[in-house]
Structure 1
Amino acid sequence: MRHPLMLSLLLIASSAAAEINVTVEIPRIDASEYHRPYVAVWVEDGGHEVVANLAVWYAQKETKEGAGSKWLADLRQWWRRSGRDQTLPIDGVSGATRPVGQHQLRFDAAKPPFAALKPGQYALVVEAVREVGGRELLRIPFDWPVTASRHLDARGEHELGLVKLDLIP
């Protein structure tokens, strides 16, 4: 028979899981006509195939110009590799555009979409595009599975600020 304290420690140890934390910074841009950017965040494998969509932020409401999803094709890389094959909104992935600031995405590696990843080399990809603005794409390579804590980042020049990827085993 196991001691109650030992059972508690086993439960704590088994409940600890690897975490993936992503921070996407949307910078302040001084422009006479400012629009929040559309942003897509995904994971791709070594062959640049999308293996997981993590976030797609776009205008959720119908406007006089049409539905916000109409402009998702402007996220060119994401659209060509995954977006055009999606049924929108994507449950748990789609959301409204974000204001200036840092925005967090947190994932448990033991749950989808990361639980299905095979060992190998991957990249976190973040693409942003803004009406009457520019387009920017950042790629942060990483190895899977996570064996040691890693902090990785990339800095955008215009449409994206600092994008951080924290991998915690």
Structure 2
Amino acid sequence: MMRKTPLLIAGALAAPASAGTISVTIPRVPVAEYHRPYVAAWIEPVGGGAAQTVFVWYDIKKKGNEPGTKWLSDLRTFWRKGGRSLTLPADGISGATRAPGTYQIPLPANLKTGAYTLYVEAARETGGRELVSVPLSIPAKAASAAGKTELGTVTIR
């Protein structure tokens, strides 16, 4: 008789379906010295509550002795909402900076039915800083907002 281990059973239950998808566009900024932006996204319940980080893109393999996390405080709102207490790198949410383009990120599957706000913040060395907010409801309904300089369109599907 073959016996299933608890690890296999837990692994099978740990993969719920995503609540939706976030699409984030990083525009090409016409400047002489372009640096990829640090970008972070988090979700907050509309009625108040703890912020949940969705992703944070930063310079993971920074050259020299300074850690890439040193400049995360330039994402001022993210830093105050929980970035400073986040242990990085964090599995499933942290990654390297991204080149201009559009990126698809799944919404966390553990969101309960309700109203939230998605925040996406970007900051670039020798560049600007921008924060875009998008209303989010679970079950997910389409919504979008657009940045003006450091972020392009942020869409929820």
Change (3 A) 1:114 1:17: closer
Name the CA distance, whole Å, in 1 between partners of 2:149 and 2:134: 17
Instruction: Specify the alignment match of 1:96 in structure 2.
Output: 96
**Pair 1:19–1:121, CA change in 2 (3 A):** closer
| Aligned-residue offset at 1:17 | 4.7
Residues 24, 104 of structure 1: 8 Å contact kept: yes
Normalising by structure 2, report the TM-score.
Answer: 0.83
1:56 is matched with: 56
Whichever residue aligns with residue 72 of structure 1, its letter is: L
Percent of residue pairs identical: 46
Letter in 1 for 2:122: A
Given that residues 115 and 137 in structure 2 are in contact (C-alpha distance below 8 angstroms), is that contact kept between their aligned partners in structure 1?
yes
Q: After the TM superposition, which segments of 4 or more aligned residues of structure 1 sit over 6 Å from their partners?
A: none
The aligned length equals 143
1:49, 1:81 within 8 Å by CA — same for their partners in 2?
Answer: no
Q: Which residue of 1 aligns with 2:3?
A: none
Letter in 1 for 2:116: Y
What's 2:7 paired with?
none
- Structure 1's unaligned 5+ residue stretches are 1-15, 108-112
**TM-score, with normalisation over the residues of structure 1?**
0.77
2:66 aligns to what?
66
Q: Which has the larger radius of gyration?
A: 1
Which of 105, 122, 125 aligns to 2:116? It is 122
Amino acid in structure 2 at the alignment position of 1:159: E
Q: Are the structure 2 counterparts of residues 52 and 31 from structure 1 closer, same or farther at C-alpha, using a change threshold of 3 Å? A: same
Could you tell me which residue of structure 1 aligns to residue 34 of structure 2?
34
How far the C-alpha of 1:50 sits from its partner, in A, is 4.1
Contact 2:18 2:109 in 1 (8 A): no
Tell me the CA shift for residue 18 of structure 1: 5.7
Instruction: Give the deviation of 1:19 after TM superposition.
Output: 3.4
Per-residue deviation at 1:59?
0.3
Q: SS of the counterpart of 1:150?
A: coil
Which deviations, in whole Å up to 9, do the C-alpha atoms of 1:89-122 show, x marking residues without a partner?
A: 1111000000010011024xxxxx432x344321
Alpha-carbon RMSD:
2.1
State whether residues 42 and 50 of structure 1, in contact with CA within 8 Å, keep that contact through their aligned partners in structure 2: no
2-structure distance, mates of 1:153, 1:85: 29
Return 5+ residue gaps in structure 2 as ranges: 1-15
